[in-house]
Chain A
Amino acid sequence: MTMSLPVLSGQLLVGLINGSFYAILSLGLSIIFGLLGIVNLTQGAFYMVGAFFAWMLLQWLGVGYWGALILAPLGVAAIGVILELLLIRRIYRLDHSYGLLLTFGLLLIIQGSFVYIFGTAGQPYPIPDELRGGYNLGFMFLPKYRVWVVLVALGLCFATWYSIERTWLGRTLRAATEKPSLTRAFGINVPRLVTVGFGLGVGLSGLAGVLAAPIYAVSPLMGADIIIVVFAVVVIGGMGSILGSIVSGVSLGLLEGLTKVVYPQASSSVIFVMMILVLLIKPTGLFGWEK
Chain B
Amino acid sequence: MRPSWLLGPLAVLAALTGVAAAGENSVKIGVLTDLTSFASTAMGPGSVLAGQLAVEHFGGKVLGKPVEVISADMQSKPDLAVQIARRWYEAENVDLIVDVPASAAAIAIQAMATEKDKLFMATVAATPVLTLKGCSPNAVHWVNNTSSLARSPVSALMAEGAKTWFLIMPDYQIGKDLVAEATPFIEQLGGKVLDVVYFPTATGDFTQYLLRAQASGADVIGAGAIGLDLSNLIKQAVEFNILPSSKQRLAAFVLNLSDVHAVGLQTMQGVYVMQEYYWDRNDLMRAFGKAFFARFNRMPNFTHSSNYSAITAYLKTVQDIGTDDPKKVVARMKEVGAPRWGEQVKVRADGRVLFGADLYRVKAPSESKEPWDYLKPVAAIPIDKMFPPADPSQCPLAR
0/1 interface trace, chain A 1-19, chain B, CB 8 Å (1 if under)? 1011001001100110010
Of A219, A222, A226, A269, which is in contact with the most chain B CB atoms at under 10 Å from its CB?
A219
0/1 interface trace, chain B 69-81, chain A, CB 8 Å (1 if under)? 0000000000000
B21 contacts partner chain A, Cβ-Cβ < 8 Å: no
Nearest-CB residue, chain B, relative to A11: B208
Contact B40 A217 (CB under 8 A): no
Contact B171 A217 (CB under 8 A): no
A225 CB contacts on chain B under 8 angstroms: 202, 204
Please report the C-alpha to C-alpha distance between residue A226 and residue B232 in the assembled complex, in whole angstroms.
Answer: 14
Do A122 and B232 form a contact, CB below 8 Å, given A1-B195, A14-B208, A225-B202?
yes
Contact B198 A264 (CB under 8 A): yes
B258 contacts partner chain A, Cβ-Cβ < 8 Å: yes
Counting chain B residues whose Cβ lies within 8 A of the other chain, the interface size class is 35 or more
Contact B227 A7 (CB under 8 A): no
Counting chain A residues whose Cβ lies within 8 A of the other chain, the interface size class is 35 or more
B231 contacts partner chain A, Cβ-Cβ < 8 Å: yes
Contact A122 B262 (CB under 8 A): yes
Please report the C-alpha to C-alpha distance between residue A122 and residue B267 in the assembled complex, in whole angstroms.
Answer: 13
B321 contacts partner chain A, Cβ-Cβ < 8 Å: no
Please report the C-alpha to C-alpha distance between residue A124 and residue B266 in the assembled complex, in whole angstroms.
Answer: 10
Which stretch, B125-133, B234-242, B286-294, touches the partner chain A? B234-242
B199 contacts partner chain A, Cβ-Cβ < 8 Å: yes
A286 contacts partner chain B, Cβ-Cβ < 8 Å: no
Minimum Cβ distance to chain A for residue B178 (Å): 16
Do A116 and B208 form a contact, CB below 8 Å, given A217-B263, A265-B171, A268-B200?
no
B267 CB contacts on chain A under 8 angstroms: 124
Please report the C-alpha to C-alpha distance between residue A115 and residue B39 in the assembled complex, in whole angstroms.
Answer: 11
A162 contacts partner chain B, Cβ-Cβ < 8 Å: no
Contact partner of B198 (CB less than 8 A), chosen from A123, A143, A265, is: A265
Which residues 194-231 of A sit at the B interface, judged by CB distance below 8 A? 214-217, 219, 221-222, 225-226
Residues of B at under 8 Å CB distance from A?
36-42, 44, 171, 195, 197-205, 207-209, 211-212, 215, 227-228, 231-232, 235-236, 239-241, 256, 258-259, 261-264, 266-267
What are 6 A-B contacts with C-beta separation under 8 Å?
A: A119-B258, A121-B41, A217-B231, A264-B200, A265-B171, A265-B199
Closest 4 CB pairs of A and B: A121-B262, A268-B200, A217-B231, A119-B41
